[in-house]
Amino acid sequence: MFSWVGRLASAFWLPLSLYARTNKDDSLGDDKDPLLWSKDLEKHAFGEFSFAVVQANEVLEDHSQVEIGQNATFVGVYDGHGGPEASRYICDNLFPHLIRIAQENGLTSSNNLKNAVSATEDGFLSLVRRTCGIKPLMAAVGSCCLAGFISEGTLYVANMGDSRVVIGRLLNKRKSNKIVAEQITEDHNASIDEIRKELKSDHPDDPHIVVMKQGVWRIKGIIQVSRTIGDAYLKKPEFAIDPSFPRFHLRDPIRRPVLRSGPSLYTRDLKPEDKFLVFASDGLWEHMTNQQVVEIVHNNPRPGIARRLVKAAMVEAGRKGKKRYDEVKKMEKGNRRAIHDDVTVVVVFIDQQINTGIDEVSTRGFTDSTSPSGFSGRRLIRSWFTASTFSESAVELSVVLACINDNRFISISISRFAAIMNTTGCSSASFAVGLANGFHESSVAIRLSASGLAEGNNDESWTPGSSGNR
């Protein structure tokens, strides 16, 4: 009677096809730049990654991280301004918030990222409130926030500011080896006409909401980015900065937030032609186009590729400043800011193969040591099946995922699942999926009923922890 259960279980474990590797391993020569840090090539759950940071400011304002789990990868790039406090705070708190929220809510979703960013913003504003009495300029410290989470074949991204994620995609993998750039995120920067229109629409009674200053469009003549974590003085009247700090003093008190709160959210099901992702602060993108970046990644060896991109940005920045790269890399921090900004680059290769037995570690930019990742111990492992109800019209199936040491990746296509269901007399299925306790010690309940196969999503992939309609 329940022979279909065995066939269903087998379908969950069908092997995944491999993506072709782009380059052979090789190494980049020593740049001998004391302000350039890199992890040339490390493994993550579904491939490899390369990570590099170069410092230009007197105090590094870019903070960044890569968190590796057995079946998920998290990347964060936080481009600070006015000081490192906000970007450092995000690096310390955003990912723990994400893990906590995912455990509470169950499902892997972009909404979890949104809530984690919101919790981080609230926490930082509380910190500002506690400290601005003795350090008034804490109210002027802020950071862009770019966070990406890859799980079960899906990329989730939350973005505030002008850091960016770009994907390198093969145009036609059978007929051509041409790589094309696809920008996943939108920049929140006053240099963009749509952002200026948005700001003017939000503040119709403020003729100075966006002004040109020294050849650059700036919000209130001060800041370029329209969404940030921090910058409390532009969000709440209680954080107004007095005239003794003229750079950040606003002549007219704000009546509502000048900067928008909340990130833009993006979700993408990764496809075989999607070869790699480039997460980077605007220090890279102000000197290189998306297409230039993906071509460099595609046409060069993987080891050191993030460092190669940082160097390419520095070469171009030096050219604009009429300095050779050899001169730029000898400049001291602080002085170097006249040529280029802090630059952070993380290149994540997507090989669609599961790296079993990888170390679950947390890597911070510009830090040689690593620590256990927040993913540690949070693994979706083995499944077993019990059928509680079965008829020609409906099936209820409970799937329990136990936390044991088996690092296989669960994936099933809806069309394949439908074929199995048809053999049992059920011609269609709809899915309601819940994770009771997040990434580990969890149970997933899958309800199958005759209500139309996910509204025409027969060719999509469904995986535990995600819904059919994303």
> What is the Cα–Cα distance from 430 to 455, expressed in whole angstroms?
8
> What is the Cα–Cα distance from 77 to 185, expressed in whole angstroms?
13
pLDDT per position as a tens digit, 413-429: 333 334 434 433 433 33
Structural domain ending residue among the three candidates 339, 372, 405: 372
Please give the order of strands across the beta sheet that includes 47-54. 36-44, 47-54, 343-350, 274-280, 164-170, 179-183
* Least reliable range by pLDDT among 76-85, 224-233, 268-277, 454-463: 454-463
Query: pTM of the prediction?
Result: 0.76
Higher per-residue pLDDT: 400 or 190: 190
Q: Express as a percent the part of the chain with pLDDT over 70.
A: 73
Question: In this structure, are residues 374 and 362 in contact, taking their beta carbons and an 8 Å threshold?
Answer: yes
pLDDT for residue 462 is more than 60: no
SS (H, E, C) 421-440: HHCCCCCCCCCCEEECCCCC
Q: Please indicate, yes or no, if residue 196 is contained in any of the structural domains.
A: no
pLDDT the model gives residue 108: 78
pLDDT the model gives residue 319: 98
Structural domain ending residue among the three candidates 372, 390, 422: 372
Query: Both 410 and 358 in a single domain?
Result: no
Query: Both 368 and 383 in a single domain?
Result: no
- How far are the Cα atoms of 120, 397, 417 from residue 389, in angstroms, in the given order? 44, 8, 18
Averaged pLDDT for residues 223-227: 98
Query: Both 364 and 421 in a single domain?
Result: no
pLDDT the model gives residue 423: 38
| CATH code at position 261 | 3.60.40.10
Q: Which residue range is the domain that position 439 belongs to?
A: 3-14+379-462
Structure confidence at residue 394 as a pLDDT band (50, 70, 90): very low
pLDDT the model gives residue 434: 30
Structural domain ending residue among the three candidates 327, 356, 372: 372
pLDDT for residue 101 is more than 70: yes
C-alpha closest to that of 77 among 438, 350, 341, 376: 341
Structure confidence at residue 378 as a pLDDT band (50, 70, 90): low
Q: Please indicate, yes or no, if residue 217 is contained in any of the structural domains.
A: no
Query: Both 159 and 174 in a single domain?
Result: yes
Query: Both 362 and 443 in a single domain?
Result: no
pLDDT for residue 265 is more than 90: yes
pLDDT the model gives residue 13: 32
Structure confidence at residue 354 as a pLDDT band (50, 70, 90): confident
**Residue 405 CA neighbour count, 13 Å, CB half:** 2
pLDDT per position as a tens digit, 110-160: 999 999 999 999 999 999 999 999 999 999 999 999 999 999 899 999 999
DSSP class of 139: G
pLDDT the model gives residue 328: 97
